[in-house]
Amino acid sequence: DIQMTQSPASLSASLEEIVTITCQASQDIGNWLAWYQQKPGKSPQLLIYGATSLADGVPSRFSGSRSGTQYSLKISRLQVEDIGIYYCQQASSAPWTFGGGTKLELK
């Protein structure tokens, strides 16, 4: 199974700050990587697919990148509505696996 190691597990940041979350795949998954946001008490929502493509309706302050088997989610200017838990997921092969999550809080 492909393991997805996400870091940090938690993160405290200020409004308008740049935030970066990373996800390391245990083997090559190409660009088959998605990011999700889960707000408190809500279902996960797709943010990014194909490592770098923004899902419909997602603000442009979110972006994704890849360097080998390391993937990053960047929020260019943190807003209040961005608070929640972020998950990466490899879509390369079954069993499809998620990272452990990054809890993003306001400082």
Q: Which of 2, 11, 13, 46 binds other proteins (CB under 8 A)?
A: 46
By CB under 8 A, tell whether 34 contacts other proteins.
Answer: yes
Q: How many residues bind other proteins (CB under 8 A)?
A: 22
**Contact present, 74 and 88 (Cβ < 8 Å):** no
Binding status of residue 58 toward other proteins by CB under 8 A: no
Residue 25, both tokens: 């795949």
Residue with token string 């929020």: 75
The Cβ of residue 23 has, within 10 Å, a number of other Cβ atoms equal to: 27
Contact between 104 and 9 under an 8 Å Cβ cutoff? The reply is no
Please name every residue paired with 44 in a beta bridge, in sequence order, or none if there are none.
Answer: none
Q: Should residue 63 be labelled a site residue for other proteins when binding is judged by CB under 8 A?
A: no
Work out which of 19, 21, 23, 49 binds other proteins, going by CB under 8 A: 49
Q: Which spans of this chain sit near other proteins (rule: CB under 8 A)?
A: 32, 34, 36, 43-46, 49-50, 55, 87, 89, 91-92, 94-101
